[in-house]
Structure 1
Amino acid sequence: MRQLGIGELARRVGMRPSALRYYESVGLLPSAERAAGRRVYPVATVRRIALIKMAQRAGFTLAEIRALLDTDGDRGTTRQWRAFAESKLPELDRFIRQTQMLRDAVADCLACGCMNFDKCALLAEDGPGAVQTRG
């Protein structure tokens, strides 16, 4: 089986070796084998890191990702992934709504064109474009 040194693996996945060592220390990656005192990983680790990165982009915490990766067997992984994904959707929907409100506020400020922050009605605490910071 072909193995990758930590530097080669880091280049392939676009990460720093220190991040890979951290992932290993928190249980996201299995402990690396050693060859001549250096960490080496099976090529399949590239796919595992791709899954970790995708899950992070979707908003999963490292603890959630670790729990998903620790699930035994394909059927257990599928059930676990479905449960995590279903619980994550409402959180992502809230994030999208909040981000859209911020985007709209910035667009309103650009459309206003006054660029006088002290007198702009859009920036007043109770003005029509007041940004709600509470979730």
Structure 2
Amino acid sequence: MRQLDIAEVASRTGLRPSTLRYYERIGLLPVADQVAGRRVYPPTVLRRLALIRMTQRAGFTLREIGAFLASDTTPGTTRRWRALAERKLPELDRHIAEFQQLRTAVADCLACGCMSFETCELLSSS
């Protein structure tokens, strides 16, 4: 199994090497081996980084992701992941509602057509 150096991992994932080193420092990635003074990772790191990115996009914090990844090798991981995801859903629902309100406000502003911050009736009602 060929090891991937930090530059290759960064290139394949679109992450900066400094981000990879940070993830390693906070425990999201395993400590990399050193070959000729360069960090090298097993190919499985790509899947782990895909999971980190997916959970970040879903709104999980790095701390939450770290807690999940730390428990990944222990019994009950699926149950813990389910509990974490179920706690996250209401938060995501709140964010979706906020974004829908923002989208409506922008659409209303465009529909108004006045394009004047000084005289717009929509702005005087807030």
- Residue identity matched to 2:92: L
CA contact (8 A) 1:69 1:77 kept: no
Q: Secondary structure at the match of 1:59?
A: coil
Q: Distance in 2 between matches of 1:78 and 1:96?
A: 26
Displacement after TM superposition at 1:75 (Å): 4.5
Q: Distance in 1 between matches of 2:43 and 2:87?
A: 32
* Stretches of 4+ aligned residues off by more than 3 angstroms: 72-75
Report whether the alignment pairs 1:87 with 2:48. no
Partner in structure 2 of residue 120 of structure 1: 120
Report whether the alignment pairs 1:67 with 2:67. yes
Using the size of structure 1 for normalisation, the TM-score is 0.89
Q: Distance in 2 between matches of 1:107 and 1:75?
A: 49
Partner in structure 1 of residue 105 of structure 2: 105
Displacement after TM superposition at 1:101 (Å): 0.3
Partner in structure 2 of residue 40 of structure 1: 40
Using the size of structure 2 for normalisation, the TM-score is 0.95
Q: Which residues of structure 2 form unaligned runs of 5+?
A: none
Query: Larger relative CO (CA 8 A, sep 6+): 1 or 2?
Result: 2
Q: Distance in 2 between matches of 1:122 and 1:94?
A: 24
- The number of aligned residues is 126
Q: Distance in 2 between matches of 1:12 and 1:72?
A: 24
Displacement after TM superposition at 1:50 (Å): 0.2
Q: Which residues of structure 1 form unaligned runs of 5+?
A: 131-135
Displacement after TM superposition at 1:77 (Å): 2.0
**CA distance change for structure 1 residues 72 and 59 in 2, over 3 Å: closer, same or farther?**
closer
CA contact (8 A) 1:6 1:40 kept: yes
Q: Distance in 1 between matches of 2:98 and 2:34?
A: 47
Q: Secondary structure at the match of 1:73?
A: coil
Task: Name the Cα RMSD after superposition.
Answer: 1.1
